[in-house]
A and B are shown apart, each in its own frame.
Chain A
């Protein structure tokens, strides 16, 4: 009986572990500093997590389909630089669709290589990380990009504006999360993504076009990256060409924290959002209780490993790995 209860607790912990951890963190930080739970602070955390969050939504699709995307960071730099550059040349109304088209082309290229040519996604996106970084530097001539007239443009609305008292980046993040969440959980396409990631061969035999599904996941990822680039560009109205460097790993950390398996086939948009928020609130909470900014990285390290470890420990029913 006792073991059964223990097991049950284990299952509950594993299934809802990330939510429980989230709740514990929120309570602990609030006790440490009541300012933490104020509306202003909550808004500012979600707003600053929005860029990372939007990218993580797309990467969730890629990871569930059983692949990786390490190129999202440099792709985000690319779209930020491109939209800022085109803003002054052809105006914001044309610059935005042009930037989306260019970013989607990059996504399509990766999707073609991984989906249709069946190349290893880790290496392909590693190569694209470097290649797109080079492309961005070439495009910008190594210069930082700035918008000439920062006051008189409506372009700043995506990063700085607010509607109904809610900052626009949050609205974009929530809307995109809702849309992609429904797409992943409720549509045939979403089920295909899980099937391809869970067991690609079985999916092929049941008539799912695997290549096309993987391709679509990379297109979605590129779309999210372009949106993140738009928010970033609009928020700062000027940018370094390395603005997204290193983000790919933080994004991946958020997705993994949300419980998606790198083997594919599991994960959810809702969980990824929790993962993003945990990262954001930890960063904010640690600062509020007076710790150094960089402590968050060490804490993130511990949390990622604990989260994944507990997840697989619950699945195999043993805490320690059976490897001799």
Chain B
């Protein structure tokens, strides 16, 4: 066995080991602490967990590409809110009044287009100006959120379309619509990242941008496409979630970027780019949702969830440092 193989195996399997640990811990602790007499590892409960992971999970897939690429996107929460407003508001527009239920695909399409456009706009700015993605998306996070508030002030935007709610609440082969979307997105992004030229270029650019330029990869458009993808996925996440809930507050999606980045980092993606996997991110998303649900199951409140997730993120970072080869200088952000 080569040196480093063990640590590599440990790292790629770590998130799944963590999930198993969580399951064991919450099952046992739940026996003593839980108020409900249902077991934690109840099948229904696990299915619900998958469904609840969808909003964060769908965005996290896009964040994985962007972070492997060596960038970051802080504006996803605001994009999410804008797409939700477009979705719900456009269904009430008089031009679409004659469409009946056909307004649903039109509204979906509009919301997805807006999300893709906002993502591409971020990407275009990063590409053309050369400003760091962290700053560009920090700015657009403020800007997009401002647009959300300009639209309807502090008031919620609501519109319930029952056909849409029925679709969103439907189950197919035992899985909810949202779960199917999460699985489908995971599969597609996994395929893109492992089997296509675009995916290989994403790793190459994140690993060493100059080398990628020299190898003839058109880095600028590539980065822009990835930002468009994450914008699209943020909108898709909103579309899936708000089809069911039918009402969006202007503050919705706030701090989503932090949850998403936490999930991606837990899943083993390097913040400096060049390494990471979609499957790992999926594990990270599940691990976070499991933690939230599990802590709720044993009677802890949301404050404990925040505390625990923050500390786990730091512990993971320390472990990662220890498992990595000592003395190898890492680039700072």
Contacts and interface: CB of A to CB of B under 8 A. Distances in A.
B140 interface: yes
- A interface, how many residues as a size bin? 35 or more
Interface of B: 74, 125, 127-132, 134-136, 138-147, 149-150, 153, 213, 218-220, 254, 258, 261-262, 265, 271-272, 301-314, 317-318, 321, 329-330, 332-333
Contact of B219 (A128, A250, A292, A324): A324
A301 B146 contact: yes
Given A122-B333, A304-B135, A323-B219, A127 B313 contact: yes
A138 interface: yes
A119 B314 contact: yes
A72 B328 CA distance: 30
Interface string A86-128: 0000000000000000000000000001000111111110111
B223 to A, nearest CB: 8
Nearest to A113: B314
A261 to B, nearest CB: 9
Contact of B309 (A122, A130, A256, A313): A130
A200 interface: yes
Nearest to B312: A127
A128 B309 CA distance: 9
Given A300-B143, A308-B132, 5 more contacts: A133-B303, A262-B135, A298-B143, A300-B146, A320-B130
Contact of A309 (B131, B149, B313): B131
Nearest to A298: B146
B109 to A, nearest CB: 25
Interface of A: 66-68, 113, 117-124, 126-138, 142, 200-201, 246, 249-250, 252-253, 256, 262, 264, 292-298, 300-302, 304-305, 308-309, 312-313, 316, 320-324
Contact of B318 (A117, A133, A298, A316): A117
Given A120-B332, A129-B310, A134-B303, A321 B146 contact: no
Contacts of A250: 142
Nearest to B126: A321
A168 to B, nearest CB: 29
A295 B146 contact: yes
A297 B306 contact: no
Contacts of B146: 294-298, 300-301
